[in-house]
Amino acid sequence: MIVLLGVLVVIVGFATRRNPLLVVGVAGIATGLLGGLSPQKVIAAFGEGFASSRAVTIFAITLPVIGLLERYGLQEQARRLITRFAGLTTGRFLALYLLLRQITAALGLQSVFGHAQTVRPLAAPMAEGAAERKNGPLTDKAREKVRSFAASADNVGLFFGEDVFLAVGSILLITGFVNTTYHTHLEPLQLALWAIPTAICALVIHGGRLLRLDRQLERELGGADGKTGSKTGSRATAETAAKNSPKGRAAAKRAAKTAPKNSARGTTK
């Protein structure tokens, strides 16, 4: 049980908002040492894990490319593109993105979409553009809300869509563990079929949340406009009431009497 102290290291590190890479590394080292491994074997385990999963470092190539595209106006072009589709609101666009993300993940194409290559440079700016077209300029709170919903559409679509694919790592891990531990013969197809209802429920539930985002933005931004309008209206009402009061009428008469004199002086000069 002492080996599970590595999990405690992860919990404490994330709770104190430490660097995630540092937290996971320290937790792995602590778990290895508590499990009786020598420091050399712990380092070897890290090296073997990196060598077998070095494809995860592909982001080092994609990030500079995406950075150059953003520098030359990728996000601005995405916002212009979404303005051409009048009926495509923020919620509808993100719901469509959720559906596409689930379908591609179910086909094993997990890397087609993603936060780095799709959400930040394309999906989030297009969602913001759709919201600005309908509700006007966005507040900082509304903009962050749209971005968070765009990220959640990618997360939910990938998480519940990839389990439908037969050769995904989680399916193979479950079948291998169950067959080895319980001496059964569980096929990956059986798990994949049972993942379909879960993926459909996730699509319906989160898709409904995305569609409700349009009403939430309209209520929040419309409320802000309403407050501004009410302040302007109350100010105008106060000015009208002041003009109609006896003092206001007297001041208006004095201004009317002095106006012809001032105009005559200006003409004489």
pLDDT digits (tens, 9 = 90+) for 236-261: 434 444 444 555 555 655 655 554 44
With beta carbons less than 8 A apart as the criterion, state whether 63 and 120 touch.
Answer: no
Higher model confidence: residue 204 or residue 242? 204
pLDDT attached to residue 237:
38
pLDDT attached to residue 181:
82
Lowest mean pLDDT among 40-44, 163-167, 203-207: 163-167
The closest of 59, 209, 162, 163 to 120, measured between CA atoms, is 59
With beta carbons less than 8 A apart as the criterion, state whether 190 and 164 touch.
Answer: no
pLDDT attached to residue 53:
67
Determine the average pLDDT of the residues in 144-149. 94
Query: Confidence band (pLDDT; 50, 70, 90) for 199?
Result: very high
Secondary structure (H, E, C), the chain: CHHHHHHHHHHHHHHCCCCHHHHHHHHHHHHHHHCCCCHHHHHHHHHHHHHHCHHHHHHHHHHHHHHHHHHCCHHHHHHHHHHCCCCCCHHHHHHHHHHHHHHHHHCCCCCCCCHHHHHHHHHHHHHHHHHHHHHCCCCHHHHHHHHHHHHHHHHHHHHHHHHHCCCCHHHHHHHHHHHHHHCCCCCHHHHHHHHHHHHHHHHHHHHHHHHHHHHHHHHHHHHHHHHHHHHHHHHHHHHHHHHHCHHHHHHHHHHHHHHHHHHHHHHHC
What is the model's pTM?
Answer: 0.64
With beta carbons less than 8 A apart as the criterion, state whether 97 and 123 touch.
Answer: yes
Q: Which of 69-73, 132-136, 236-240 has the highest mean pLDDT?
A: 132-136
Tokens of 244: 């109609």
pLDDT surpasses 50 at 235: no
